[in-house]
Amino acid sequence: MSIYENKAGSFSLFKNENRTDDNNQPHYNGNGKDMNGKDFQVSAWVTTSKAGTTYFSCKMQEPYKKDKTPDLEIATKTHLEPDLPF
C-alpha cells in the first residue's frame, strides 16, 4: 500500500464509513496541507440549504494528537504523598 503525501495547498477527502444517521460524524474526512505546508484535518457534512441546494459544510482544524502519557501514570504522579513511610 502506498502512502500519499498531500502537497502544500491541497487536501484529500474520504467517505467516513463510521457515519450513521444517529451520530453527528462528518460524511467525509481527510487530511491536507495549508499553503505553508502545515498539516490540517478536514471534515465535510452533506447539507441542504433553506433554498433546497445541496452543498458541503466543511471544517478545518489542527490534526488530532493522542496524549502519549498513560492515565495511570498521571494519576500516580499527582497522588503521591511525600511523607509515606515506605
pLDDT digits (tens, 9 = 90+) for 32-49: 999 999 999 999 999 999
| pTM of the model as a whole | 0.67
Number of H-type helices and E-type strands within the chain: 1, 4
Q: Residue 21: what pLDDT? A: 86
Q: Where are the alpha helices (DSSP H) in 1-86?
A: 71-78
Q: Residue 86: what pLDDT? A: 57
With 80 as the cut, is the pLDDT of residue 68 above it?
A: no
User: In 10 A of CB 45, how many CB atoms?
Assistant: 16
With 90 as the cut, is the pLDDT of residue 75 above it?
A: no
Confidence label for 1 from pLDDT (cuts 50, 70 and 90) = very low
User: In 10 A of CB 73, how many CB atoms?
Assistant: 9
> Grid coordinates representing 61?
482544524
